[in-house]
Amino acid sequence: MGALFYILIFPGFLFIIFFSLAIEFIDRKIYARLQNRVGPPWFQPLADFIKLLAKEDIVPTASNPKMFKLAPILALTSVITAFLYIPLWKTGALFSFNGDIIVVFYLLTLPTLAFFIGGWYSTSLYARIGSVRCLTQLFAYEVPLFMGILSSALLADTWSLKEMAVFYTQHPWFWMFNLLGFGISLISLLGKLEKVPFDIPEAETEVVAGSFTEYSGRMLAYLRLTLDIEMVVGSVLLALVFFPFGLNINPALGFMLFLLKVLFIISLISLLRTVVARLRIDQMISFCWKYLVPLALLQILVNLILKGTLLK
């Protein structure tokens, strides 16, 4: 019973779906307010989701039906699974073992591969261009994202998210040293979430809707939900890794603090996607490799020196 409750209701399915829809609303509302308009009502993401669930599912005759239908489910499953390993407002997660940070990374990479598979097997030209761009972009943002988050893990000397939370609770002010890593990871996360300025794979003005071009109805609902949940999991991961304070206080206060941290990261993402324009794919790759990766190396160097001096 307990396991079923975990999987279906609390940190699992139901909570994450409603939480991610709320986060999508906040993102869209901030985006609208920054553009000086009223923006969507609070139930908008829920209405979109239900409407898409009730629409007709079209599978193009030229596509490979099995792969086409498999991709959204694979993407959704992997992001929901990734959420189970992240401690939210306590130092303990639902499941934890040494090395779970790597598992979370790869579970967050799987949706990108699923988008590629779905786009490729729908055999539409736009979808194929979009999915190839998706993979090209993966090689640019993945390295700085991993380096940024792992530099924080390096300081804590563990590859388990739970033990990282314990370390930063014991050494309260150490998260201040990781702020550069936070900036790098946030920018790379924009690439993972396919948000402006890195929305190259689904640029509407160029490739219609990227790998989602041929999707309709229920499968499109799953894909959109995947992107929302990915945003939640990404920002929760950044909140845990870079703002690991107040994890062992009263649960109600801890929950409020957790929400505040996530909202802060979401508002940063919305702000960034309002103020910048889309880059070209080559500009994006050279930006990631020329600027973000050296900065991430600098962060790792700082953390290594800290380990040799302060933590001796």
Partner 1 sequence: MRIIKKIVSWARIKSPWILHFNTGACNACDIEIIAALTPRYDLERFGVVLKGTPRHADILVCSGPVTKKIEDRLVRIYEQMPEPKFVVAVGTCACSGGVFDGCYNVAAGINQVIPVSAYIPGCPASPKAIIDGVVKLLASLEEKENKGDVSIFPSPER
Q: Does 213 bind partner 1 (CB under 8 A)?
A: yes
Q: Does 40 bind partner 1 (CB under 8 A)?
A: yes
Nearest to 195 by CA among 282, 277, 293, 114: 277
Q: Which is nearer to partner 1, 50 or 310 (CB)?
A: 50
Q: Which is nearer to partner 1, 127 or 145 (CB)?
A: 127
Percent helix, percent strand, percent coil in the chain, to nearest 5: 75, 0, 25
Q: Does 58 bind partner 1 (CB under 8 A)?
A: yes
Q: Does 46 bind partner 1 (CB under 8 A)?
A: yes
Query: CB of 279 within 8 A of CB of 287?
Result: yes
Backbone angles phi and psi of 10, in degrees to 5: -75, -80
As a whole number of angstroms, the distance between CA 296 and CA 185 comes to: 9
Q: Does 41 bind partner 1 (CB under 8 A)?
A: yes
Q: Which is nearer to partner 1, 155 or 219 (CB)?
A: 219
Smallest separation (angstroms) from partner 1 to the CB of 134: 16
Q: Which is nearer to partner 1, 216 or 267 (CB)?
A: 216
Smallest separation (angstroms) from partner 1 to the CB of 38: 5
Stretch that binds partner 1, among 103-111, 185-193, 208-216, 259-267 (CB under 8 A): 208-216
Q: Does 61 bind partner 1 (CB under 8 A)?
A: no
Of 15, 43, 95, 97, the residue at the interface with partner 1 (CB under 8 A) is 43
Residue 216 burial (10 A CB sphere; 0-12, 13-18, 19+): middle
Coil vs helix vs strand at 122:
coil
As a whole number of angstroms, the distance between CA 159 and CA 44 comes to: 39
Q: Which is nearer to partner 1, 183 or 217 (CB)?
A: 217
Of 8, 47, 125, 310, the residue at the interface with partner 1 (CB under 8 A) is 47
Of 32, 143, 249, 295, the residue at the interface with partner 1 (CB under 8 A) is 32
Q: Does 220 bind partner 1 (CB under 8 A)?
A: yes
What residues between 116 and 145 interact with partner 1 by CB under 8 A? 126
Smallest separation (angstroms) from partner 1 to the CB of 64: 17
Complete DSSP assignment for 58-106: ---TTS-HHHHHHHHHHHHHHHHHHHTTS--SSS--SS--TTHHHHHHH
Handedness of CA 294, 177, 155, 181 (dihedral sign): negative
Query: CB of 167 within 8 A of CB of 107?
Result: no
Q: Does 246 bind partner 1 (CB under 8 A)?
A: no
Q: Which is nearer to partner 1, 90 or 218 (CB)?
A: 218
Nearest to 102 by CA among 155, 145, 156, 134: 145
Q: Does 54 bind partner 1 (CB under 8 A)?
A: yes
**What token pair was written down for 186?**
């946030």
Q: Which is nearer to partner 1, 46 or 70 (CB)?
A: 46
As a whole number of angstroms, the distance between CA 154 and CA 170 comes to: 16
Q: Which residues bind partner 1 (CB under 8 A)?
A: 28, 32, 35-41, 43-44, 46-51, 54-58, 126, 204, 208-209, 212-217, 220
